[in-house]
Chain A
Amino acid sequence: MSITFWLLSAIIVPAALGILFVRKAVHAALLLAAVMISLAIIYLTLEAPFLFAVQIIVYTGAIMMLFLFVVMLVGVDASDSVVETIRGQRWLAWTAGVVLGALLLVGVAQISLGTMVGLDAANSGGNIEGLADLLFSRYVLLFEVTAALLITAAVGAMVLAHRERLEPKPTQASMAAQRVRDFSETGRPLVPLPSPGVYARHNAVDTPALLPDGTPAEESVARVLAARGTVRSAPALADDITEVQRTLEDVDGGPAGGATGGTDQASGSGHNTENPEAGA
């Protein structure tokens, strides 16, 4: 018994147990990926290099990615409810599971299967060649049936995921007409909203854009940020404004500083600050 097996077992069993206890589906998916990669290495020690590659490519690569896609579609925080719909079901399930495990382990410990023959002889012509020989001779019918199964699964997934379109697809012209209608009825602006942070010192999304008169444009930051209260506060913004004014006065020297003497007007956007330089 190699040390690899015991090391990997020490990874696999806690990771698999973790799937039972973690709240979030994403964590369960990551733990399952760890289990699968460790199993792939065990396959390698069992002289199955083809299954090692397939385990990593198909299971960890394709199937786990599919799981993660669905977790993202369904919602990352769709966690388990702890309410029991059947009374005592959780307790009974654990009892039955532990009894099953004990039964299996005792059964495995009782039998003796002799020493491992090893695959040196079977793999002598190459593992993949040996598998292909079996696959296309003894198991060729099974192989064909598998093809039918895969096609059925692909068609089934498409049918299940397909949604009939009940209304015509919106075209560019209809969307433009809708926008004009919204403007005339509710006053929604025709043009896109201003982008945040077009101020000389910040271009972060939490910094509102400044209007020409120096006041922050509230609609330039995302509503989500405003609701969370993570928008840059007005005092901090005011400090920035005075700071920029000071640097402008330093750079421009006397005449420009005199020209931008009125502090409130000079606190405007970048366009204002460029003009004196062009003039000077």
Chain B
Amino acid sequence: MNDVNAYIGLSAVLFTIGAIGVLTRRNAIVVFMCVELMLNACNLALVAFAHQHGNLDGQVAAFFVMVVAAAEVVVGLAIIMTIFRTRRSASVDDASLLKY
């Protein structure tokens, strides 16, 4: 196994765990944390590839991912709070009003 492959492998494992978490967990906050885990896995791949290719573009991309993640968390948690205020529940199964 090559040097960078180990980092990409770890990134793939983390991404998979995050994806499974998004699909299986019911608590909206934990689902959100799993999305963060997937973003972190992508960041690890970006930084590893920056190291592999010997330039800093990957690190700049990882930085932008962090900025977008921060914005996403702010809005997402505000939405979760709003849903919790009206439904008294943070479960993603309860927010199914469009179903009926």
Interface residues of A (CB under 8 A from B): 1, 5, 9, 12-13, 16-17, 19-20, 25, 28-29, 32, 35-36, 39, 42-43, 46-48, 50-51, 54-55, 58-59, 62-63, 66-67, 70-71, 73-75, 78-81, 85, 89-90, 93-94, 96-98, 100-101, 104-105, 108-109, 111-119, 121-123, 127, 130-131, 134-135, 138-139, 142, 146, 149-150, 152-154, 156-157, 160-161, 163
Contact = CB atoms under 8 A, between A and B. Distances in A.
A102 to B, nearest CB: 9
Given A131-B63, A153-B72, 6 more contacts: A12-B14, A20-B21, A70-B80, A78-B91, A94-B24, A160-B79
Contacts of A71: 29
A98 B32 CA distance: 20
B30 A28 contact: yes
Given A46-B7, A115-B3, A35 B75 contact: no
Contacts of A46: 7, 47-48, 50-51
A63 B71 CA distance: 10
B70 A50 contact: no
A115 B95 CA distance: 49
B37 A79 contact: no
Instruction: Tell me if B's interface is mostly helix, strand, loop or mixed.
Output: helix
Nearest to B21: A20
B33 A119 contact: no
A209 to B, nearest CB: 37
Contact of B27 (A13, A25, A59, A73): A25
